[in-house]
Amino acid sequence: METPPTPPYLVKNFLLTIKAEWMLNKMTLEFTKDAMESLQEFQVSMGQADIKNHLQDYVTNHGHDIYSVPLFTDEFCTTMLDEIENMKAHFGFNPNENEDQLRQIPEIILHEKCPELFNSMLGVVLNVMNPIFMSVWQRYSHAASTIQIANYNIRDKKQGAWHHDQTADISMVVPLNTGNYEGGGTEFHGRTIVEPLPNGHALFFPSFTHMHRGLPVKGNKDRYLLVFWLYGGSAEN
């Protein structure tokens, strides 16, 4: 007798599947909107005009081409944590068998497990993060290699090994529960250490040049992150 197919996952917090302003940091959203004029002038001029906007001063530069910016609201992070608890009751976290061992961490791959949430998060990248990428690097993301929820804990994976995100051009990591665990943060080989950022802040950096690892968590609490591996294109394309 064949095993019946697993029913599709039903999102508990439906608003997460709709990209809307409630989930986005208000100041970041306003600066993003204000930046569009200078970015459009740059494109129309075929790269002859300079890009000058508030986003360039607004983002935090951690040095070594590593940046962060407030992206999601506390309400979004709290709602995501509630959704994670619901997901754990259905399928939980598992390492991605398609990745090599260095990159395997307990994760939920959104395009496989929850396509609606994947599409919502990709919309945030295309509409909110792209003006930031363009302002900082004159590059943008046109698609995602993967968007996933990662889980560091002392039971399964307390820290990451040194690695590059080889199937991406731009990497972005968003903490969801900073303050609920001890330790954590991200170390960049030969560059710097970025301590755990406030919830909802997006840490972003070039994928293939920046070898990095997640620093160990301590105690019995879980560290949850939204992880984006993004394909990029240049402003000249």
Q: In whole angstroms, what is the distance from residue 208 CA to residue 152 CA?
A: 22
pLDDT in tens, 185-218: 999 999 999 999 999 999 999 998 999 988 888 8
pTM score above 0.85: yes
Average pLDDT over residues 137-156: 86
Phi, psi of 69 (to 5 degrees): -155, 140
* Displacement of CA 196 from its chain's centroid (Å): 14
Domain boundaries, the chain: 23-234
Q: How many helices (H) and strands (E) does the chain have?
A: 6, 12
What is the residue type of 31? F
pLDDT score at 161 = 78
Residue the block writes with tokens 């889980």: 151
What is the residue type of 13? N
23-234 falls under which CATH superfamily? Answer: q2cbj1_9rhob like domain (2.60.120.620)
pLDDT in tens, 11-65: 999 999 987 899 999 999 999 999 999 898 888 887 788 888 889 999 999 999 9
The alpha-helical segments, DSSP class H, found in 92-224 are 110-113, 115-124, 130-137
